[in-house]
Amino acid sequence: MKLDIQHIKRILGFAFLMGFQMGLANTWTVCSNCENSSIKETILRAAPHDTLLIEKGTYKEFEILVDKPLVIKGIGYPIVDGEKKGEIFRITSDDVTLDGLFVINVGVSYTKDNAAIRVVQSKNFLIQNMVLEQLFFGIYLEKSSHGKVYHNRIIGDAVDEYNSGNGIQLWYSSDIEVTKNHVQGTRDGIYLEFSDKITITDNVSRDNLRYGLHFMFSDNDIYTNNLFENNGAGVAVMFSKFITMKNNTFRKNWGTAAYGMLLKEINDAEIIGNTFEENTIGINIEGSNRIEYANNDFIGNGWAIRVIGACYTNSFKGNNFLYNSFDISYNSKLNDNVFEGNFWSSYTGYDLDKDGIGDVPYRPVKLFSYVVNRTPETIILLRSLFMDIIDFSERVSPVFTPDNLKDAQPLMKIRS
């Protein structure tokens, strides 16, 4: 018995010690005049699953390697200043949390894509409440998965494309949530390359040099409720499959090659409930098939939808086309897409049987849009009486526009 009790005691003691070691992980406080004044060194001392509390102050450090599961949390937004010397945080371990730091001055390099925070081949990371400024790349996720990028502010000051980086970049990553971030002044606000099953929700991406959001070779992604505003070229979705785009707003992307959204080689996507407002081109569609466009609002765009090249089996249903200079522009005489039950603000037909559907089909392609495609300067004749007369005659008897390109059931009232 004695032995047994001793044995139990010993076991309990060991268990207690172990429990202390594992469950009650250490918390390290870092401040400029504490014992631990360097984040980098404190990480070296810390054990896995420890927490580092960074107190208010300025920490001039770069190439901070986080190679064990840690929680690094700022108190009152301490500044981590990379002094433009290189990358600032590099995470190479699973289960890392970065929270509440103000990271500035990432080193710009022409050979390395330095980021404020880089996550490499890790899982279950959480990057939240960070503020990143004076950056090159912001948050760079490389071959990582199952993480979360939440509620960060990334403010770049990019001027030229060649020496600026992207706000949030995902490369060969999957199963990541990007939520409630605010990205501006970078090259591409959010950039996905070979990244699948990504959810992008409630972000704001504005005033970026190139794209607010940019997809390349990324499949099965969902983005909803985001706002993309005044980006150099809007949002580009290219060479991807099964993308769901819902309830996003694309605004004020103005310029020669500026789009609310650019679709290139996209198949089997859903574009539902989005708002395209005051863009030079609402959606520019190139070689994209089997896409459902439903319940979107196109308001005051130069071109609501411009179709270039072969696009098959797309359907446009229940959209509102309001006061666009051109509703639809086509560059071919063929049409394999369906337009049905949309509301067109320039529709002038009537509804004698009062079923809410116009009795005369609407032809959304104006002859003038062909003329403008051919000779862009003619845009200056937009809304002139002469062009209106020509458009009218084309509408009565189509010669240049595809004969079957029409909405046979135009709505009489705006879809609310």
Partner 1 sequence: MLKILKYSFYDLIRSRWSYVYFLFYLALGFVLLFLNNDVSKAVITLMNVIIILIPLIGTIFGVMYFYNSREFTELLLAQPIKRSSIFLGQYFGVAGSLTLSLVLGLGIPFLLYGLLRSNAIFNFSLLLVTGAFLTFIFVGLSFVIAISNENKIKGFGYAVLLWLFLAVVYDGLFLMSLIIFEEYPLDTFSLVATMLNPIDLSRILILLKLDISALLGYTGAIFRKFFGTDLGFLVSMAILLLWTLLPILSLGYKAKRKDF
| Identified binder of partner 1 from the candidate list 25, 357, 371, 412, rule CB under 8 A | 371
151: left (phi over 0), alpha (psi -120 to 50) or beta: left
Cβ atoms within 10 Å, residue 253:
30
| Identified binder of partner 1 from the candidate list 57, 255, 273, 349, rule CB under 8 A | 255
Distance CA 254, CA 302 (A): 9
Is 325 a binder of partner 1 (CB under 8 A)?
A: yes
Within its chain, how far is the Cα of 225 from the centroid? Answer: 10
Tokens of 330: 């086509």
Q: Is 21 helix (H, G, I), strand (E, B) or coil?
A: helix
Size of the site for partner 1 (CB under 8 A): 34
Considering only the stretches 198-206, 217-225, 357-365, 383-391, report the one whose residues sit in contact with partner 1 under the rule CB under 8 A: 383-391
Q: How far is the CB of 329 from partner 1 (least distance, A)?
A: 10
Considering only the stretches 2-10, 35-43, 82-90, 255-263, report the one whose residues sit in contact with partner 1 under the rule CB under 8 A: 255-263
CB 280 within 8 A of CB 302: yes
CB 114 within 8 A of CB 108: yes
Tokens of 388: 């209106």
Tokens of 402: 């595809």
| Identified binder of partner 1 from the candidate list 172, 254, 312, 370, rule CB under 8 A | 254
Is 416 a binder of partner 1 (CB under 8 A)?
A: no
Tokens of 176: 């990541």
Considering only the stretches 144-152, 187-195, 273-281, 391-399, report the one whose residues sit in contact with partner 1 under the rule CB under 8 A: 273-281
Nearer to partner 1, 156 or 302 (CB): 302
Is 278 a binder of partner 1 (CB under 8 A)?
A: yes
Helix (H) or strand (E) holding 202: none
Considering only the stretches 125-133, 176-184, 248-256, 265-273, report the one whose residues sit in contact with partner 1 under the rule CB under 8 A: 248-256
CB 195 within 8 A of CB 220: no
Is 379 a binder of partner 1 (CB under 8 A)?
A: yes
Q: How far is the CB of 133 from partner 1 (least distance, A)?
A: 28
Q: How far is the CB of 352 from partner 1 (least distance, A)?
A: 17
Is 394 a binder of partner 1 (CB under 8 A)?
A: no
| Identified binder of partner 1 from the candidate list 173, 279, 288, 337, rule CB under 8 A | 279
**The one-letter amino acid at 234:** G
Residues 6+ apart with CB under 8 A from 227: 203, 204, 205, 206, 248, 249, 251
Q: Is 390 helix (H, G, I), strand (E, B) or coil?
A: helix
Is 345 a binder of partner 1 (CB under 8 A)?
A: yes
Distance CA 310, CA 245 (A): 22
**The one-letter amino acid at 135:** L
| Identified binder of partner 1 from the candidate list 120, 126, 382, 408, rule CB under 8 A | 382
Considering only residues 54 through 73, tell me which ones interact with partner 1, judged by CB under 8 A.
Answer: none
Q: How far is the CB of 251 from partner 1 (least distance, A)?
A: 10
Is 33 a binder of partner 1 (CB under 8 A)?
A: no
Going by C-alpha positions, the residue among 72, 49, 47, 50 that lies closest to residue 61 is: 72
Going by C-alpha positions, the residue among 79, 90, 80 that lies closest to residue 112 is: 90
Going by C-alpha positions, the residue among 241, 246, 369, 256 that lies closest to residue 305 is: 369
Nearer to partner 1, 28 or 326 (CB): 326
Q: How far is the CB of 393 from partner 1 (least distance, A)?
A: 13
Considering only the stretches 11-19, 120-128, 183-191, 295-303, report the one whose residues sit in contact with partner 1 under the rule CB under 8 A: 295-303
Is 393 a binder of partner 1 (CB under 8 A)?
A: no
**The one-letter amino acid at 119:** V
Considering only the stretches 51-59, 220-228, 275-283, 331-339, report the one whose residues sit in contact with partner 1 under the rule CB under 8 A: 275-283
Judged by the rule CB under 8 A, the positions of this chain that interact with partner 1 are: 254-256, 258, 278-281, 300-303, 322-323, 325-326, 345, 371, 374-389
